[in-house]
């Protein structure tokens, strides 16, 4: 019996979703994973998945400029 996904959870993102969101080629994400850079990711079977909160946190860590 499948359980319903909680309505407060966002679906996981795949490499193409994240590449489009960050406006970088998918190959850049592959390179970042090999180098231990980029947003957190998780292997799901043979697939790579990202959680949107991890992507937002990764971007926030890199934010620069603006008022201090």
Q: How many domains is the chain partitioned into structurally?
A: 1
> What pLDDT is stored for residue 5 in this prediction?
60
**Phi and psi for 4 in degrees, rounded to 5?**
-75, 145
> What pLDDT is stored for residue 52 in this prediction?
97
Residue 5 is assigned to a structural domain of this protein: no
Full pLDDT tens readout for the chain, 68 residues: 666 666 678 899 999 999 999 999 999 999 999 999 999 999 999 999 999 999 999 999 999 987 65
Nearest residue to 39 (alpha-carbon basis) of 25, 20, 53: 53
> What pLDDT is stored for residue 8 in this prediction?
78
> What pLDDT is stored for residue 57 in this prediction?
97
Residue 39 is assigned to a structural domain of this protein: yes
Alpha carbon of 55 to those of 36, 48, 59: distances in Å? 14, 14, 6
The residue range of the domain holding 28 is 15-58
């Amino acid at each position: 019996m499948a359980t319903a996904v909680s309505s407060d959870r966002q679906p996981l993102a795949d490499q193409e979703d994240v590449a489009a969101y960050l406006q970088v080629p998918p190959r850049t994400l592959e390179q970042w994973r090999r180098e231990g850079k980029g947003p957190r990711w998780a292997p799901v079977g043979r697939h790579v998945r990202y959680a949107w909160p991890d992507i937002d946190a990764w971007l926030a860590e890199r934010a620069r400029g603006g008022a201090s």
